[in-house]
Amino acid sequence: MNFEMSKGNKWQTISQQKIYENPWIRLEEHQVINPAGGEGIYGKVVFKNKAVGIVPLDKDNCIWLVGQHRYTLNTWSWEIPEGGSPLDVDPLESAKRELKEETGLTAHSWTEIARVYLSNSVSDEEGFLFLAEDLEIGLTHLEDSEADLQVKKLSFEEALKMVENGEITDSLSVIGILKVARIKGF
């Protein structure tokens, strides 16, 4: 099977306009000519941070999940530790900070396991996933928006079952846990 990709961009931007902006995102409206030559409109969410997610795995094959109420979905969510990385900061440095903030853990071994685009039909959000090993336990440093955050240590197999059963639905978490399962042979 040949999956040859066209390297040419057939989209044409006629104009773009900022619709809304806050410290995390900007919403733009683009007037475009689509690949078939017709006029169209495209909405684009421009992220001001990269997403980082961390799968902390200890020598006993246990991982740490964080749980919190997700305002946008109005539901509780169990996830791997994750957060934002300013565009001008190395995602690994932000991952180290997020792991420490949310779980109190410091990892002495880091492996980048995936780079993903989280919703490429409407946004430019790029995510980086890391496996964190050789863990040292310390104190958390939660942000105000994480006041309800709970931390749970469990076996990797239990977390994998949570993904398989639909109990973990966050995209970075699903990708990270499945990627580590593949890498480590779980």
pLDDT digits (tens, 9 = 90+) for 68-96: 999 999 999 999 999 999 999 999 999 99
Tell me, yes or no, whether 56 and 18 share the same domain.
no
Q: Is the dihedral of CA 139, 88, 130, 116 positive or negative?
A: positive
Note whether residue 156 is domain-resident.
yes
pLDDT digits (tens, 9 = 90+) for 22-69: 999 999 999 999 999 999 999 999 999 999 999 999 999 999 999 999
Query: Given a cut of 60, is residue 1 above it in pLDDT?
Result: no
pLDDT digits (tens, 9 = 90+) for 124-157: 999 999 999 999 998 887 777 777 889 999 999 9
Q: Are 134 and 98 in contact (CB under 8 A)?
A: no
From the CB of residue 113, how many other CB atoms can be counted at a distance below 10 Å? 18
Identify the domain containing residue 99 by its residue range. Answer: 50-184
Query: Given a cut of 60, is residue 121 above it in pLDDT?
Result: yes
CATH number at residue 135: 3.90.79.10
